[in-house]
Amino acid sequence: MKQVIMISLLLLVSGCYSPGEVIQPRPVVNAPPLKGIWHVVRKGETVKSLSKRCRISANVVRELNGLDEGARLRVGESVFLHEAKRKICNRKRKRRPPPPPPAKKWTWPVKKGTITSRFGVQRGKRRRHRGVDIAARTGTKIVAARKGTVIFSGTRGNYGRVVIIEHSGEYVTVYAHNSKNIAELGDEVAMGQKIGEVGSTGRSTGPHLHFEIRYKGTAVDPMAKNRLPPGEYR
């Protein structure tokens, strides 16, 4: 009997047994809330695009939203973006300006020659080439690529002697390094009309025409599709 009493006392002291006492469940401990935002998916948005724009991990987005890799987001559904800031996520992405519309009725300014430098970044150079260089003999005829009005005829820095023509549709063409300018400021010129002669003035390594097409002030590739007809230069 003494042994039974001793065991009961030990159980009471240890808390393992309490006659007539109802055992209460332990209170639930809530984890600290995650910081972030709920985002309603818009058309064209993906996990990758959201993670890039919101500067968060794509893997974390998938894990917290139960998404498999490669799963597509549905427009209108809400996804949780951990540690994302609404101000950054709601920024509109800068859209690239639309390409210029094809301009009809163009012609090459030099009928025979060799293209020695194309449009864009050249190998070994950091600066982007704003036009194309057409090598030809000094004195070779330069013609207007399209009907327009001469807005500059003279000498300008590295271009040397240069003629600049404004055309309809917000286009401008540039003809540089000329040995001679024939068209003058204010002249109305027709497509194919002579405006100058090939030379090597300004910053030049030999006789050639530097030819540019600018659309709304930005240089575009003269050899792009639907801009100038293919010829001996391709």
| Model confidence pLDDT, tens digit, residues 135-163 | 999 999 999 999 999 999 999 999 999 99
Angstrom distance (rounded) from CA 83 to CA 81: 6
Q: Is residue 119 part of a domain?
A: yes
Q: pLDDT tens, 15-72?
A: 454 555 555 555 555 555 677 788 888 888 888 888 888 888 888 888 888 888 888 8
Angstrom distance (rounded) from CA 217 to CA 1: 106
Q: Which of 42, 67, 95 is the last residue of a domain?
A: 95
Query: Tell me, what's the pLDDT at 232?
Result: 44
Angstrom distance (rounded) from CA 172 to CA 127: 21
Q: Domain of 177?
A: 114-220
Using alpha carbons, select from 22, 14, 51 the residue that is nearest to residue 36.
51
| Co-location of 124 and 193 in the same domain | yes
Using CB atoms within 10 A of its CB, is residue 212 exposed (0-12), middle (13-18) or buried (19+)? buried
| Co-location of 84 and 121 in the same domain | no
Q: pLDDT tens, 98-123?
A: 666 555 678 889 988 888 888 776 55
- Does the structure show a pLDDT above 90 at 5? no
Residues of the chain above pLDDT 70, percent: 70
Average pLDDT, whole number, for the chain? 79
Mean pLDDT score, 6-20: 51
DSSP β-bridge partners for residue 149: 166, 188
Question: What would the two tokens of residue 199 be?
Answer: 């030379």
Q: Is residue 171 part of a domain?
A: yes
- Does the structure show a pLDDT above 70 at 224? yes
Based on the structure, what is the number of domains in the chain?
2
The angle that helices 58-65 and 47-54 make with each other, rounded to 10 degrees, is 120
Angstrom distance (rounded) from CA 211 to CA 191: 15
Mean pLDDT score, 120-131: 66
CATH number for the domain spanning 202: value is: 2.70.70.10
How far the first Cα of the chain sits from its last, in Å, is 112
Residue 61: partners with Cβ closer than 8 Å, 6 or more residues away:
47, 50, 51, 67, 79, 80, 81, 82
